[in-house]
Amino acid sequence: MSADAVVVGSGPNGLVAAVLLARAGRKVLLLEAADRFGGGLRSGELTLPGRVHDLGATVMAMALASPAFRELELKGVEFAHPPVAAAHPLDDRPAVLVHRDPRRTAEGLGRDAGAWLATVGATAKGGFPLVELLLKPLGPWRVPPATFLRAARFGAAGLLPATTFARRAFRTVEARALIAGMAAHSMLDLRAPITAGYGLLLASLAHLVGWPLVRGGSQVLADALVAEFRSLGGEAVTGHRVRRLAELDAPTVVLDVTPRQFLELADLPPAYRRRLERFRYGPGVFKVDWALDGPVPWRDPSVAGAGTVHLGGTLEEIVLSEAETAAGRRSPRPYVLLVQPYAADPTRGGHTLWAYCHVPNGSRADMTEAIETQIERYAPGFRDRVLARHTMGPAELEAGNPNLVGGDIGGGLASLTQFVRRPVWSPAPWRTPLPGVFLCSASTPPGASVHGVGGWQAARLALSGAAPSGSTS
Ligand SMILES: Cc1cc2nc3c(=O)[nH]c(=O)nc-3n(C[C@H](O)[C@H](O)[C@H](O)COP(=O)(O)OP(=O)(O)OC[C@H]3O[C@@H](n4cnc5c(N)ncnc54)[C@H](O)[C@@H]3O)c2cc1C
């Protein structure tokens, strides 16, 4: 196929870019290195036959809130909501629950009920325009002016370290632990700037759209994008790893890769090369998937209804765990992000469980024991439910997807600096100095997660350029 555009990599960003280019009438070729499309959206039978596990992303709050996915209006993708968005068990008291309804959530926070509504609740009230502004900080926007005021308020609190925000905004152990568990998704030291912003955004998304899973597994979303792409005449190929850009013969190339790979793929102008070489990757993760013979036996039964469970105890404990990782050390009591898909989606072949903890980039440590000990802490007898387990450290993750450099699932450190310089400081960082070549991965704004906004931005820029080859207009 002679193509107007080649998209390299089929993660959510590559897929969104491919669909938008094809919808605009371009002849598009999509090349994927792995044997299945989807990148971070792949699912598979990791443990026992018939058990569906998500290899990467599983919680789809960002996808549901994303302006890019809303614009695509995909068919055949159903989001499955658990009764409770997230739970945060604690040793000596009832678990804290995040419900879709902020008021119901606040009821569980005692003296911090009002503070929760004034902070997280107020951010959620900003609704989709605010999310659009946050996901597309460099525009273009379709947001009402009042949203900018709300965004300024969010920004003032969000720029703070999570530790400072938690101690200023809340007085209870429960609310402080809850926001720490949310902020720790950032994979940053929680004493660093903007970690409060990640916590506020994720918590408010639980109220705005919920924290659902894709019914049947995340692969269903990837497959729907591929089906839409093919229905538009796009050609999609797996098992094709692009090694040099010179292999590709098309006026437009969109790369769903991170800076380190881009440096290997092309001869770049020295100044841009040096800027990419300064790009920093974040910590890695160690992931465990289990097949269980029944639900996790939580000590507090209210945790059973939660899709996501944050294990790590108090604010102070989580801060310590993430600080250890950020300093390049393995945390003995790691903060664990756990998802029980069966709470939302009964179609995955039984009780499966998904969890990971953060580890230093490239770490070879086996964290299975440390993760299971954290689960046992809140669910004594958990190990007796395990039928089979599957583990992936940074090396295995990167072997399955070259974008996961050293096990970094975020496409690069999510620090304040790299929030604005992702991967370079520019009003259009998706554009590269090579004519017709664009970056779209999570290493471009707005960063990690399944939202497809990088792909949306790269496609928009590509389409604002030259007309398709053979076009007479
Ligand atoms: C374990 C894990 C858990 C996660 N949990 C969540 C979650 O719950 N919710 C959420 O929103 N996000 C989550 N994420 C993050 C999310 O998956 C990523 O941010 C998102 O997938 C990034 O999309 P992307 O398109 O930039 O790249 P990716 O999804 O990483 O896809 C890149 C694709 O490009 C391909 N590729 C790379 N180089 C080449 C080449 N040279 N030639 C051909 N193909 C190439 C790769 O094989 C891969 O398929 C998680 C990620 C992981 C790994």
**Does the CB atom of residue 56 touch ligand 1 within 6 A?**
yes
Residue 151 maps to a domain: no
Instruction: Report whether 13 contacts 38 (CB < 8 A).
Output: no
**Does the CB atom of residue 46 touch ligand 1 within 6 A?**
no
Residue 139 maps to a domain: no
Task: Domain count for the chain, please give it.
Answer: 1
- The pick from 20, 185, 356, 450 for probing ligand 1's pocket by mutation, whose C-beta has the most ligand atoms within 8 angstroms, reads 450
Q: Say how far apart CA 256 and CA 39 lie, in whole Å.
A: 10
**In terms of residue numbers, what domain contains 224?**
5-47+214-279+410-463
Residue 22 maps to a domain: yes
The residue contributing the CA closest to ligand 1 atom 1 is 56
Q: Report the pLDDT value the prediction gives residue 467, as an integer from 0 to 100.
A: 45
* Distance of CA 39 from the midpoint of ligand 1 (Å): 4
Tokens of 433: 């100095």
Q: Say how far apart CA 389 and CA 369 lie, in whole Å.
A: 12
The residue contributing the CA closest to ligand 1 atom 11 is 449
Tokens of 301: 């039964």
* Distance of CA 9 from the midpoint of ligand 1 (Å): 9
**Does the CB atom of residue 261 touch ligand 1 within 6 A?**
yes
**Domain CATH number, residue 229:** 3.50.50.60
Q: Say how far apart CA 395 and CA 406 lie, in whole Å.
A: 7
* Distance of CA 260 from the midpoint of ligand 1 (Å): 15
Residue 395 maps to a domain: no
Residue 243 maps to a domain: yes
The residue contributing the CA closest to ligand 1 atom 17 is 40
- The pick from 182, 211, 401, 404 for probing ligand 1's pocket by mutation, whose C-beta has the most ligand atoms within 8 angstroms, reads 401
User: Packing angle between helix 453-463 and helix 12-23, nearest 10 degrees?
Assistant: 30
Q: Say how far apart CA 175 and CA 251 lie, in whole Å.
A: 52
Residue 313 maps to a domain: no
Query: Cis ω on the peptide bond leading into residue 380 (within 30° of 0)?
Result: no
Q: Say how far apart CA 112 and CA 109 lie, in whole Å.
A: 5
* Distance of CA 160 from the midpoint of ligand 1 (Å): 28
Q: Say how far apart CA 38 and CA 226 lie, in whole Å.
A: 9
Q: Report the pLDDT value the prediction gives residue 469, as an integer from 0 to 100.
A: 36
DSSP, collapsed to helix, strand or coil, labels residue 284 as strand
**Does the CB atom of residue 436 touch ligand 1 within 6 A?**
no
Q: Report the pLDDT value the prediction gives residue 471, as an integer from 0 to 100.
A: 35
**Does the CB atom of residue 258 touch ligand 1 within 6 A?**
no
Residue 225 maps to a domain: yes
**Does the CB atom of residue 361 touch ligand 1 within 6 A?**
no
- The pick from 449, 456, 457 for probing ligand 1's pocket by mutation, whose C-beta has the most ligand atoms within 8 angstroms, reads 449
Q: Roughly how many angstroms between the first and final C-alpha of the chain, as a whole number?
A: 22
Residues 6 or more apart whose Cβ sits within 8 Å of residue 380: 297, 299
The residue contributing the CA closest to ligand 1 atom 36 is 9
Tokens of 61: 């709050």
Residue 355 maps to a domain: no
* Distance of CA 56 from the midpoint of ligand 1 (Å): 7
Burial class for 359, CB neighbours closer than 10 Å (0-12, 13-18, 19+) = buried
Q: What does the angle CA 325 – CA 361 – CA 218 come to, to the nearest 5 degrees? A: 100
Residue 321 CA: distances (Å) to CA of 4, 105, 376: 48, 26, 18
Instruction: Report whether 120 contacts 200 (CB < 8 A).
Output: yes
Q: What is the full DSSP assignment across 387-447?
A: EEEEEE-HHHHHHH-TTSGGG-TTSS---HHHHHSSSSSSSSTTB-SSTTEEE-STTSTT-
CB neighbours of residue 261 within 10 Å: 19
Which has the closest alpha carbon to 195: 160, 171, 154? 160
Residue 183 CA: distances (Å) to CA of 120, 133, 180, 270, 454: 12, 20, 5, 37, 22
* Amino acid at site 231: S
* Number of residues in the chain: 473
The residue contributing the CA closest to ligand 1 atom 22 is 442
Sheet (strand 306-311) strand order: 96-98, 84-88, 306-311, 336-339, 351-359, 284-292, 386-392
**Does the CB atom of residue 282 touch ligand 1 within 6 A?**
no
Q: Report the pLDDT value the prediction gives residue 148, as an integer from 0 to 100.
A: 82
Task: Per residue of the chain (473 residues), give pLDDT as tens.
Answer: 579 999 999 999 999 999 999 999 999 999 999 999 999 999 999 999 999 999 999 999 999 999 999 999 998 899 999 999 999 999 999 999 999 999 999 999 999 999 999 999 998 888 888 888 888 877 777 778 888 888 888 888 999 999 999 999 999 999 999 999 999 999 999 999 999 999 999 999 999 999 999 999 999 999 999 999 999 999 999 999 999 999 999 999 999 999 999 999 999 999 999 999 999 999 999 999 999 999 999 999 999 999 999 999 999 999 999 999 999 999 999 999 999 999 999 999 999 999 999 999 999 999 999 999 999 999 999 999 999 999 999 999 999 999 999 999 999 999 999 988 999 999 999 999 999 999 999 999 999 999 999 999 999 999 997 544 333 32
**Does the CB atom of residue 13 touch ligand 1 within 6 A?**
yes
* Amino acid at site 136: K
380 phi/psi in degrees, rounded to 5: -60, 135
